[in-house]
Chain A
């Protein structure tokens, strides 16, 4: 449980650091004075009881909420608050707790939409859909298909995602985030509402991403089994405050964490 040293941040080991972040909505303090860091290449879990401020923390990280206090250092640049577009362009992608897919678009289109930032051919070429626009489209389509293969969702490629069962929607959402080829991937309860087998699949995808692509991952999850197995380090929030930070084993044994969250020791 220590804040990242200036040297570490400078060394580039730390991909993202939040320092003293506070966020309140009217009287509700969603996040108060929280600091932690995410190192390059690690899987960092954020856990805590309901309403502890986990989702709000992610929202701060990718600029959807602007904290009243604190600062955020991402890739060595320090700001008071992120801007959504800048965060995305800088390589932060995320999935959402309440699936936020583009419901009437197909799986393929959702994933292709994830590549919008990477496609640049101008309006002029777009209206002809030939030449550069088409070759760009084909190039990105290849990437999209790779992601689809990776997540094993070939069979739902052309189905509007609104009609998919919840579990598959979560998977597509992951695919959409992957399509952005992020450096930092924020996952908000990616396994809620899944059965064991699906959680296992999901875990496999997350691990492979982390292993093969080196994607750094911040993960919110309520399934302790998953959290403890996957994550390198865990930060625990309660009522907007950080109450613990450390390896899964350390956290598991932490008294405050057991009281506030786990109930019984797992």
Chain B
């Protein structure tokens, strides 16, 4: 089941990112990804879905090469970005090439102000102050809330503000591709909507590609063109977003719509256990 998706009509040349059958081990003994393959077309938005602990974050970190910092390593398989094998590239080289990750859990620099945080995002940019200034204002226009708090230390801002800060920081590097790890976490509903709109806008206007790890399946499948579902370190299902939305299992377990419309959280039954694709 875990072979590369045959159905996807993506020609290799159009792929900005392709991950081929990678395995990831933490601490030399814990095998977390057991052969994951996925592809992101240039200018596409791809969603990576899956339960807690399925390995979404790990996949993204494997791509952006941040695993090394957590004592994890890619032990098998290969990763290509923009036509280059990037397995041995340092994270900063990758950012320079245009692939940046927004990490889960708001990894802001607590002792830097919001504005300084945003500026660190522009670290690899060769273009001058003016362009950076312009993008800074752009970020503030996306997220007015952090515009108001731009001179406070990031460590003192609220959870949602930090999330916006992390996202804005990535935008500041003018990437070709963004690996977004749970962007909607902890954000108020209308901001979530806004974030996805921003994703769409960047994608359409600037041609930025996205790989999106999300729990908010609803949103993710609305904006993405293609989706992968990960379970226990394996891709168990993938397909066009539309097709996934129609899939009965996805409907039942990820979208919360059964035959009888939306379920209420009040009436969740204890016996309901998820059917596992891989048992």
Chain A directly contacts chain B within the complex, with at least one CB pair under 8 Å: yes
| Contacts from A to B (Cβ < 8 Å) | 25, 28, 48-52, 55, 97-98, 164-168, 189, 192-201, 203-204, 207, 222-226, 229-230, 261-264, 266
A229 contacts B264, C-beta separation under 8 Å: yes
A51 contacts B182, C-beta separation under 8 Å: no
- Report A60 CB to chain B, min CB distance, Å: 14
| Contacts from B to A (Cβ < 8 Å) | 49-54, 57, 104-106, 145, 149, 152, 156-161, 163-164, 182, 185-193, 215, 217, 253-256, 262-266, 268, 270, 272, 274
A200 contacts B191, C-beta separation under 8 Å: no
Residues of B near A200 (CB, < 8 A) are 256, 263, 265, 268, 272
- Given A50-B158, A98-B159, A198 and B52 contact (CB-CB distance below 8 Å): yes
Residues of B near A204 (CB, < 8 A) are 268, 270
A195 contacts B268, C-beta separation under 8 Å: no
State the 3 A-B residue pairs at the shortest beta-carbon distance, nearest first.
Answer: A50-B160, A167-B52, A263-B190
- Given A167-B51, A167-B53, A195-B254, A230 and B266 contact (CB-CB distance below 8 Å): yes
Residues of A near B256 (CB, < 8 A) are 196, 200
A222 contacts B52, C-beta separation under 8 Å: no
- Given A50-B187, A193-B186, A166 and B105 contact (CB-CB distance below 8 Å): yes
B52 contacts A195, C-beta separation under 8 Å: yes
| Separation of A50 and B160 alpha carbons in the complex (Å) | 5
- Report A84 CB to chain B, min CB distance, Å: 19
A164 contacts B185, C-beta separation under 8 Å: no
Closest to A195 in B: B215
* Contact among A51, A207, A230 with B161 in the assembled complex (CB-CB below 8 Å): A51
Residues of B near A201 (CB, < 8 A) are 268
What 20 new A-B contacts, CB under 8 Å, besides A50-B160, A196-B254, A198-B52?
A48-B188, A49-B188, A49-B191, A51-B145, A51-B157, A165-B54, A167-B53, A193-B185, A193-B215, A194-B215, A195-B215, A195-B217, A197-B51, A200-B265, A201-B268, A203-B268, A222-B189, A223-B189, A229-B266, A261-B188
- Given A51-B157, A263-B189, A207 and B266 contact (CB-CB distance below 8 Å): yes
Closest to B182 in A: A193
Closest to B160 in A: A50
| Separation of A166 and B50 alpha carbons in the complex (Å) | 13
